[in-house]
Amino acid sequence: MSFVKLTKSEKNIRFREKVMELAGDDIQICYQCGECSGGCPEAAVMDLLPNQVIHKIQLGDESVLDVNTYWICSSCLVCSARCPKGIDIAKVMESLREISLRSKKRYVELEALTKEELEVLPQIALISSFKKQTS
């Protein structure tokens, strides 16, 4: 059997601490039972299941910000209610959204949209996108 050696840099630790600070929860106590994912109504369309997201955060792996899970999450709170360790997973998802928005990463290149796209895209979505990207 081979073991993967886990190394944790200061950056990894800072990321994990930031998520826990925003969520107000200690996710280190998660023991990967999978109860949260088992009840998640959005699981089928998520890149990573909620328990996998928690595991990545435990490792301080910032690549968790590149998956769609926390955007797909509808904050229904089923996971939080099912967690035997009392972790508010929905709040953890909210923390990831906050961190992602604060990083001002651009998900929509407004300047790159064509005239045709501008005619069919919902105006309210465009306005929201402008607000997010300029505030």
By CB under 6 A, name the binding residues for ligand SF4: 30-36, 39-42, 50-51, 54, 73-79, 82-85, 87, 89-90, 93
By beta-carbon proximity to ligand SF4, the closer residue of 12 and 58 is: 58
> Which residue in the block uniquely carries the two structure tokens 């089923």?
78
Half-sphere exposure of residue 112: CA atoms within 13 angstroms, side-chain side: 4
By beta-carbon proximity to ligand SF4, the closer residue of 39 and 126 is: 39
How many CB atoms are closer than 10 A to CB 96?
21
Residue 93: name the closest of 59, 56, 135, 44 by CA. 56
Find the helix or strand (DSSP H, E) in which 5 lies: none
Shortest spacing between CB 42 and ligand SF4, in angstroms: 4
Shortest spacing between CB 45 and ligand SF4, in angstroms: 10
By beta-carbon proximity to ligand SF4, the closer residue of 44 and 120 is: 44
Residue 112: name the closest of 121, 104, 124 by CA. 121
By beta-carbon proximity to ligand SF4, the closer residue of 28 and 103 is: 28
Shortest spacing between CB 67 and ligand SF4, in angstroms: 12
By beta-carbon proximity to ligand SF4, the closer residue of 91 and 113 is: 91
How many CB atoms are closer than 10 A to CB 6?
8
Shortest spacing between CB 26 and ligand SF4, in angstroms: 11
Shortest spacing between CB 16 and ligand SF4, in angstroms: 14
Structure tokens at 106: 């651009």
